[in-house]
Structures are given as structure tokens and as C-alpha cells.
Amino acid sequence: MVKFLIPLVLFIIMAIFLAMGLHLNPSEIPSPLLNKQAPAFTAPKLLAPTETLSPTDLKGKVWLFNVWASWCVSCRAEHSVLNHLAQQPNIMLVGLNYKDNPDDARGWLTALGNPYAVSITDQEGRVGLDWGVYGVPETFVIDKKGVIRHKHTGPVTVQDVEHVLQPLVAQLQAEAE
Amino acid sequence: MKGLIFLVLLWSHAAYAIDAKQFTDQKQQVAYESLTSELRCLVCQNQTIADSNAELAADLRRQVYEMLQQGQTPEEIIAFMTARYGDFVLYKPPFKIKTSVLWLGPLVFLSIGLLMVFWLIRTMAQKKVDAVQEQGQQEKLAKIRRLLNEEEERF
């Protein structure tokens, strides 16, 4: 009896692993930066290139850091969602204009609307590298203490906003500084 | 002619990296080449940053190059990369509890295989011994019968 059960058990174990494999997304790489202090940078603002921004300027605020570029096709899909998100109370969107031509980037914001409280330029992708960015768009949520609490890879959808981002921001707003 | 074309193809692939970086220090050159072939390009996933044409790979190569120029060790560069991109950036994952299955799995499967081979050999050998003994027994019985028959005939 046992002799016949062994292949069956082996098959079931294998089937479970294969089924798990089917549901994994290999392009989703967990960020080691989660729950760590946001990497520092000092980068020029896109719309006011003489001024700079650094994460320490945003201490005490909950903010979303969205990586975008005018050459990025999925960013176009995401943009209307961001425009909508920016109108919600308590939401502060900071943009990282990644490896882009600043003129193209400014043109894009004029044409499609600007959801960002501020965008910074990262033409060489150095800030992106420090933040572990490997694709555009990506969105980070940073709490009042300057700690990265969430990372979203790929375009943000309306569902993500309603079920993940807004509840998380509300929760982080309630936390102490 | 075909052989020549083949040789040329082989040689061209091995001889040129995507963007060759120049080092004055031979040791740094070696470190650069080994590091870029150990780090994974995160966009393409199945290519090292030395092999990949992706922009991110170029950025990572530049980062490795600059860090080597600043005199940082390969260990420091690996630590820098894993702090930002996780263990996934390494083609050779470190040994941790989380990756133990990855490292020990093949050994476990190999031992199971070896055990099964030994077990099979032993049972097969045992069967053979049994068969030989059986045959021996039969022969002895036959001999006894023959002898008994001979005895009977004598009297």
C-alpha cells in the first residue's frame, strides 16, 4: 500500500511547487530598502532648476515618491491615476524624473497635467540607482520619519490607489513623527 | 572557409565587451570584469550587467567602474549593490536560511539517488545469492537421491 502512496505523495508535492511557481511574478523584486531610511540625495527641481530638494526637507511629512519619465509608455497610462490621486487630501506626490530630457519632461507636465508637488531631475539615473530603481514607473511611500514603508513596481492603478496607497497614507499620517 | 567564419564569430564575441572600460591598474581591470559578470541586470534578469545592453546595466557598470576607481574593494561594491537591489542582483546567491534549499537541495537529491542505487544493488545481489543457494540446495538433494538409489541397488 505504502509503495503505491509514495509516487502519489511525490506528485502532489511537485504539483504544489509548480502551482506556486505559476503564481510568482519574476519581475517583481522585493526591495531591501523597505523599512529602511530613504537614501539621501540633493537634486535640482525640474521646474526650478536653481533650487534643490533633499528628503530631509520632507521630514515630518508622508510623501509618495514616483519615478517617471516622458519616454516611459506605462507612465502615460499611470498619469491620469496620479492626477486623480494628487487631488485627494493628505497626498503629497514627489516626482523623480528619471533619465529624461528636462525639456521633454516639462513639456509632458504641461500637456498632461502636473500631479507632483515637486519633481526632481535625475538625468544620469544616480538617484534612481541609490533607490534601487530598475524600471519605470515605480512608487515609494515614505513616512514622517523618512523611512520607506512601501514600494510599488509598475504603473499604479485605481485599485492600487484605493486598496493600498490611500489606506497606507492614512495609517502613516496617524503615526507620530 | 566555414571553419574560418566560425572562428571569427567565436573570437569577436569573446574579444569585445559591450563598452570596454579602461583601467590603468591591471588588478582593477580584473576586478571590474569579474564583478560585472557576477551582477545581474535587473531589467533583463537573465543577463549579467557585462552582457546586457539595457540602460540600467550601463548605469550599474558605470557605478562599478567609479567605485573601483575610488579604490573600493569588490566586497564593498557587492555590499553596495545588495543594499539597493537585494540578493537578486547576485548571480551567486549567498548561503542563508532562506537560500539553504537552493544550495542544499541538489546535495539532498544526490544523496537520495545514491541511497536508492545502493539499496537496489543490495536487493539485487541478495536475490542472486538466494538463487545460487537455491540451486546449490537442489544439486545437493539430487546428489543425495542418486547416492540413496545407488545404495538401494547394491543391496
Q: Which domains does chain A have, with CATH numbers?
A: 35-174 (3.40.30.10)
Give A34→chain B minimum CA distance, Å.
Answer: 10
b vs e for A144-158, b when ≥16 Cβ sit within 10 Å of the residue's Cβ?
bebebbbbbbbbbee
Query: What does pTM read for this prediction?
Result: 0.77
pLDDT band with cut points at 50, 70 and 90 for residue B15: very low
Q: Which of B43, B84, B88, B101 is the best residue to mutate to test the A interface, defined by the most A CB atoms within 10 Å of its own CB?
A: B84
- pLDDT at position B5 is 67
- Same-domain status, B101 and B90: no
Average pLDDT, chain A: 93
For residue range A89-119, list pLDDT tens digits in order.
Answer: 889 999 999 999 999 999 999 999 999 999 9
Q: How far B90 CA lies from chain A's nearest CA (Å)? A: 12
Looking at the complex, does the CB of residue A21 fall below 8 Å from at least one CB of chain B?
Answer: no
Better-predicted residue by pLDDT, B94 or B111: B111
- Tell which B residues from 45 to 104 touch A, by Cβ distance under 8 Å: 45, 55-56, 59-60, 63, 82-86, 88
Per-residue pLDDT tens digits for B56-82: 999 999 999 999 999 999 999 999 999
Of B94, B119, B138, the residue that ends a domain is B94
- Domain hosting B133: range is 96-155
Question: Are B15 and B28 in a shared domain?
Answer: yes
Tell me the shortest Cα–Cα distance from A167 to chain B, in angstroms: 26
User: Which member of B43, B59, B86 has the closest CB to residue A129?
Assistant: B59
- Provide the greatest CA pair distance for chain B: 111
Q: What pLDDT shows up at residue A15?
A: 95
Tell me the C-alpha distance between A108 and B115, whole Å: 66
Distance in angstroms (rounded) separating the CA atoms of residues A143 and A171: 10
B42 and B107 fall within a common domain: no
The C-alpha cell at A113 is 497635467
